[in-house]
Amino acid sequence: MIFVCYAYIHYYIRTMNQILWVDDEIDLLQPYIIYLKGKGYEVSTATNGEDAIDALQENVPDIVFLDENMPGLSGLETLQEVKRLHPEVPVVMITKSEEEHIMEQAIGEKIADYLIKPVNPSQILMCLKKHIHQQSIVTEQVQQNYRQEWSDIAYMIDTASTLDEWKAIERTLCRWDIELEQTGMRSLLEDQRTQANAAFAKWIGRNYVSWFNGERLAVSDERPLMSPDIMKHSVFPLLDRGEKVLLCVIDNFRYDQWKTIQPLLSDIYSIREEEQYLSILPTATQYARNAIFSGLLPLQIQQMYPQLWIEEGDEESKNIHEKELVQTLLDRYRRRESFTYWKVNESDFCERVTHQLKSVQTPLTIVVLNFIDMLSHSRTESKMMRELANDEAAYRSLTLSWFKHSPTYNLLKRAAQLGYTLVLTTDHGTTRVKNAVQIVADKNTNTNIRYKVGKALNCASKNVLTIDHPERVGLPSPNISSSYMFCSGSDFFAYPNQFNYYAQFYRNTFQHGGISLEEMIVPLVTLTPKEQ
């Protein structure tokens, strides 16, 4: 029993927040120290900079209160030594001086806060909550807010019947996913996203075919904004107003990734319009991005421009004709604008594009960025990359790090300096897959694990969408009896042969091609450069 009590006391002392207060008039501060001890803090003191440094070498406090005007080592000199020993410890400078140069020097040394004497206990307590307890206070409040909103989100999921409502659900889930990153409620949110994706897949299954007016493939009044509509909806009106436009298409770019990099872009751009659109099925580059640039559904591309359509089984790149497809779109609408097109796969080339942008004379510039796509694929193949991005939060963090330090950021900053209106979008998103489902298919079936196209597709799962007449939704058929089958939620296809191996290999990787909020509801943002 005695041992347990001592262990408890030791744990209690060790977990108390510790304050080091350095002031040559420390005796006058005893009322503050008594007040803080009554609030549960452990306060140690020093009357000069030398003693403070000695104390820091023996014990690391949670925060340092430091007087600016002391004999011997000054407050600023002590601050420098504190930051050299323990740069992670927040330091609050307390001074009688309001001279601007002292404030600037202290801020330059990365102080946490700056208080002018006389201070009151409430100011001290606020500093502690801000610099020691802020994370725990914010986390608790965020968790409480999510618990309060949980039932509202569940109701939104249960009653959603329009794309606008599903867009709102995706925005809400992304917001909470970002806010709950460092909390213990992620699993509850993941369960809610699973429910949302299951309901969304059923909604897509009920409505998708009806949006295409059967074999005529004319644009239905019922059809929402989708991949073939992006140029007409977001680019042509800007050109009509005489604006210089940069269309930036980032492959595999999810809505939550957009929200992650948005603060960086907000320094140089103002958001004119933030939208989401619905990627066509399959949510794969061959189909969705070609649809964006051509303004056509895949079957229409195949029928009207067969030389520009690459079949599933062909070995060449499925997107080698993007520039030509853009030209066909401009020609059909009798638009005379010239345009510049770049596909960027390497950092060095992105830097060259940035330098060349100033000399571009065309009103429309299109840049395709494949870095997120490369990140997704390398994460699948590399064990190290899997560990670096083992969930959505880590994937977003990796995206932010890439963007912040990549030539892409410099390219967009340069575009802002040159007065470009930026249209930022993607062809589709990705989703983290978890559950392998068995599929039996013809040997000529495609290799994508989120959708299959071929003959005699057979899958026992009830969570797949099968389209037996692809022509009704604007999809080409490799054979007369071909059908398409799409996974939904977090499922992915695996063949019976070596099922367990592939189930384990692909589990928790980010994939695309199927039906999920993350893959289909993607960002479409128009930004205006701020004055430089």
Question: For residue 11, is pLDDT > 50?
Answer: no
The residues near 441 (Cβ < 8 Å, ≥ 6 apart) are 452, 454, 455, 456, 457, 458, 495
Question: For residue 170, is pLDDT > 50?
Answer: yes
Amino acid 432: pLDDT = 94
**Percent of the chain beyond pLDDT 90?**
68
Amino acid 100: pLDDT = 66
Amino acid 372: pLDDT = 66
Question: For residue 4, is pLDDT > 50?
Answer: no
352 is written with which tokens?
């060259």
CA-based nearest residue to 474, from 301, 319, 224, 323: 301
- Dist CA 122 CA 124 (whole Å): 5
Burial of residue 25 (number of CB atoms within 10 Å: 0-12, 13-18, 19+): exposed
CA-based nearest residue to 189, from 140, 149, 137: 149
**Percent of the chain beyond pLDDT 70?**
89
CA-based nearest residue to 474, from 90, 100, 218: 218
Question: For residue 455, is pLDDT > 50?
Answer: yes
- Dist CA 29 CA 25 (whole Å): 7
Going across the sheet that includes 491-494, the strands are: 458-459, 435-440, 491-494
Question: For residue 8, is pLDDT > 60?
Answer: no
Question: For residue 440, is pLDDT > 90?
Answer: yes
pLDDT band at 18 (very low <50, low <70, confident <90, very high): very high
Q: What is the mean pLDDT of residues 408-415?
A: 96
CA-based nearest residue to 88, from 123, 63, 66, 113: 63
268 is written with which tokens?
């140089």
Q: DSSP per residue over 331-383, as a string?
A: HHTT----EEEEEE-SHHHHHHHHHHGGG---SEEEEEE-HHHHHHHHHHH-H
Task: Write down the mean pLDDT value for the chain.
Answer: 89
pLDDT band at 443 (very low <50, low <70, confident <90, very high): confident
Q: DSSP per residue over 17-51, as a string?
A: -EEEEE-TTGGGGHHHHHHHHHTT-EEEEESSHHH
Amino acid 314: pLDDT = 72
Lowest mean pLDDT among 194-198, 231-235, 373-377: 373-377
Q: What are the residue boundaries of the structural domains of the chain, listed by start?
A: 2-132, 135-207, 209-339+369-432+520-529
Q: How far is CA 179 from CA 33, 100, 141, 168, 396, in A?
A: 35, 37, 11, 17, 12
Question: For residue 413, is pLDDT > 90?
Answer: yes
Half-sphere exposure of 512 (CA within 13 A, CB side): 30
Q: How many other C-beta atoms can be found within 10 angstroms of the C-beta atom of residue 15? A: 8
pLDDT tens for residues 27-77? 999 999 999 999 999 999 999 999 999 999 999 999 999 998 888 898 889
Pairwise pLDDT comparison (504 vs 221), residue with the higher score: 504
Question: For residue 187, is pLDDT > 80?
Answer: yes
Amino acid 75: pLDDT = 86
Q: What is the mean pLDDT of residues 246-270?
A: 96
Amino acid 346: pLDDT = 85
Instruction: Quickly tell me which residue has 């229409």 as its tokens.
Output: 300
20 is written with which tokens?
């080091």
Amino acid 381: pLDDT = 54
Beta bridge partners of 221: none
Q: What is the mean pLDDT of residues 488-513?
A: 94
Amino acid 5: pLDDT = 43
Question: CA 12, 183, 137 angle in degrees (round to 5)?
Answer: 60
Q: How many other C-beta atoms can be found within 10 angstroms of the C-beta atom of residue 76? A: 19
For 156, the enclosing helix (H) or strand (E) is: helix 134-159
- Looking at CATH, the fold of the domain delimited by 2-132 is given as Rossmann fold (3.40.50)
- 527 with 284: CB under 8 angstroms? no
Q: What is the mean pLDDT of residues 358-380?
A: 79
pLDDT tens for residues 208-222? 999 987 656 666 667
Amino acid 9: pLDDT = 37
Beta bridge partners of 275: 524
pLDDT tens for residues 84-142? 999 999 999 888 866 666 667 666 767 888 888 888 988 899 888 888 888 787 778 88
Instruction: Quickly tell me which residue has 């008594």 as its tokens.
Output: 34
Lowest mean pLDDT among 80-84, 311-315, 362-366, 382-386: 382-386
Amino acid 12: pLDDT = 39
Q: What is the mean pLDDT of residues 335-358?
A: 93
- Dist CA 501 CA 234 (whole Å): 44
